[in-house]
Amino acid sequence: MLTLYTYFRSSASFRVRIALNLKGLPYESVPVHLVRDGGQQLLPEFRALNPDALVPVLLDGGQALHQSLAIIEYLDEIHPTPALLPKAALDRAQVRALALDVACEIHPLNNLRVLKYLKHELKVPEEAKNGWYRHWIELGFASLEKRLNASPPAGDFCFGDTPTMADCCLIPQIFNAQRFDVDLSPYPTIRRIHAHCMTLDAFAKAAPGAQPDAE
Amino acid sequence: MLTLYTYFRSSASFRVRIALNLKGLPYESVPVHLVRDGGQQLLPEFRALNPDALVPVLLDGGQALHQSLAIIEYLDEIHPTPALLPKAALDRAQVRALALDVACEIHPLNNLRVLKYLKHELKVPEEAKNGWYRHWIELGFASLEKRLNASPPAGDFCFGDTPTMADCCLIPQIFNAQRFDVDLSPYPTIRRIHAHCMTLDAFAKAAPGAQPDAE
């Protein structure tokens, strides 16, 4: 049995929820509230599972796995069908790079603990903090939009006509963008992929609003 | 023939240089100066290769690959020996997670363009900016140090007694830490792994000071 420590709004947890759903793997969901109790991820019980104090954590037979992309690669290795990475090495590199474009260039800058540091340590005013949030999404989405229209162009999904790890990363990032009122009109391909993904149960049921801990 | 677009001080380029050296793959090095000319990565010629305007880019037979971890996984797939990931899925997940602990939780916050945004847009004073830089390294290294002493504990390298993708990420991050005078005394295991890696040509020849474009 798989157990996922998750927070409904956590973008990295959302990635793993999509992957689990795409693979049809049932899991028990354990909510970790990132705000309540001063942040339940900071409590010793959770830190024992993940010293980073970050969700998600996936428990598989007593083994705690962390880092959403490492978890998705793991799921893809032990449950290869349906595959979340293409077969050819160059294609795999392209899908991984798209996933990392979100996971390394956008999301880390908009993480809750980073926003807290900007507010409390650097005394950045609310509007400038929201501007920072939007800036990294807009910068990242502008180059992603170019890539998705380059060779080979995106199909129904980021890469071809089946969902991959890249979609697992992109869709949660779009939710964050919408929450912070980022104007998505300059990114028609990203919007098209998003609209298509959200017609699928695997994505819709992984969304923040569909989680048991949603507020 | 492989061509690497690189900058001597770029931590992500350094990761790929280590991987190429560990695999014994010769490559042509094309320097992209991140400061000169207002940042050569921002010039149209380079943006045509990578719309993100980030190094490294690896050219393999006309195909441009970006994102250092996607490049390293690609190299590991097309040149499997010596392997930069272990064989068992759980072990692979652990190595990938260690690599991502650096690549997602530390390095993105200390990237040049992020430091520029703090300085120019948010008007963060120099000393507070350097404090930010050190903060994310110290937070990340504290949890990495715990992980490296957990089960299974690190060997000569982050995982066992052969170098992996995790070492490709950790060692460049230590160089950054030293450049910003981070006190490394609380992380004896990280220091031990670093000292061992730097006795190896693959790491030493990939270091910033050993690059043709070093200043």
Question: Which residues of chain B from 45 to 104 reach within 8 Å of chain A, CB to CB?
Answer: 51-54, 60, 63, 65-67, 69-71, 73-74, 77-78, 89-90, 92-94, 96-97, 100-101, 103-104
Residue where one domain finishes, among candidates B82, B97, B122: B82
Is residue A131 assigned to a domain? yes
β-pair partners for A63: A60
B128 and B75 in a single domain? The answer is no
pLDDT of residue B63: 94
Is residue B181 assigned to a domain? yes
pLDDT band for position A141 (50/70/90)?
very high
The domain that holds A53 is classified in CATH as 3.40.30.10
Is residue A210 assigned to a domain? no
Q: Determine the residue of chain B that is closest to A146 in CA distance.
A: B51
Is the pLDDT at A151 greater than 80, yes or no? no
A130 to chain B, minimum CA–CA distance in Å? 12
Number of domain units in chain B: 2
Is residue A214 assigned to a domain? no
Query: Is A62 exposed, middle or buried (CB count within 10 Å of its CB: 0-12, 13-18, 19+)?
Result: exposed
Averaged pLDDT for residues A29-58: 92
pLDDT band for position A163 (50/70/90)?
very high
Average pLDDT score over chain A? 96
What interface predicted TM-score (ipTM) does this complex get? 0.97
CA distance A130 to A124: 10
A55 and A98 in a single domain? The answer is no
Is residue B55 assigned to a domain? yes
The shortest CB-CB distance from A100 to any of B60, B69, B124 is to B69
pLDDT of residue B37: 87
Average pLDDT score over chain B? 96
Averaged pLDDT for residues A33-59: 92
- Residue pair B51/A63 in contact by the 8 Å Cβ criterion: no
A14 and A97 in a single domain? The answer is no
CA distance B47 to B33: 14
CA distance A25 to A2: 8
Averaged pLDDT for residues A187-196: 98
B21 and B56 in a single domain? The answer is yes
Is residue A212 assigned to a domain? no
- Judged by a CB distance cut-off of 8 A, whether residue B107 touches chain A is yes
Residue where one domain finishes, among candidates A49, A82, A115: A82
Supply the DSSP symbol for B208.
G
Residue where one domain finishes, among candidates A82, A106, A134: A82
Tell me the pLDDT tens digit for each residue of B7-60: 999 999 999 999 999 999 999 999 999 988 889 999 999 999 998 889 999 999
pLDDT of residue A54: 92
Q: How far is CA B164 from the centre of its chain?
A: 12
The domain that holds B165 is classified in CATH as 1.20.1050.10
B78 and B115 in a single domain? The answer is no
Q: Do A103 and B104 touch (CB under 8 A)?
A: yes
Chain A interface mutation, best of B23, B55, B122, highest count of A Cβ atoms under 10 Å:
B122
**Stretch among A6-15, A72-81, A107-116, B35-44 having the lowest mean pLDDT:** B35-44
Is residue B25 assigned to a domain? yes
pLDDT of residue A152: 81
Q: Where are the alpha helices (DSSP H) in A106-164?
A: 112-116, 126-148
pLDDT of residue B31: 95
Element (H, E) at B12: helix B11-22
B97 and B76 in a single domain? The answer is no
A71 to chain B, minimum CA–CA distance in Å? 7
Is residue B210 assigned to a domain? no
B67 and B45 in a single domain? The answer is yes
Q: Determine the residue of chain B that is closest to A92 in CA distance.
A: B74
B129 to chain A, minimum CA–CA distance in Å? 9
- Judged by a CB distance cut-off of 8 A, whether residue B126 touches chain A is no
Averaged pLDDT for residues B164-170: 98
Q: Provide the residue range defining the domain that includes B178.
A: 89-203
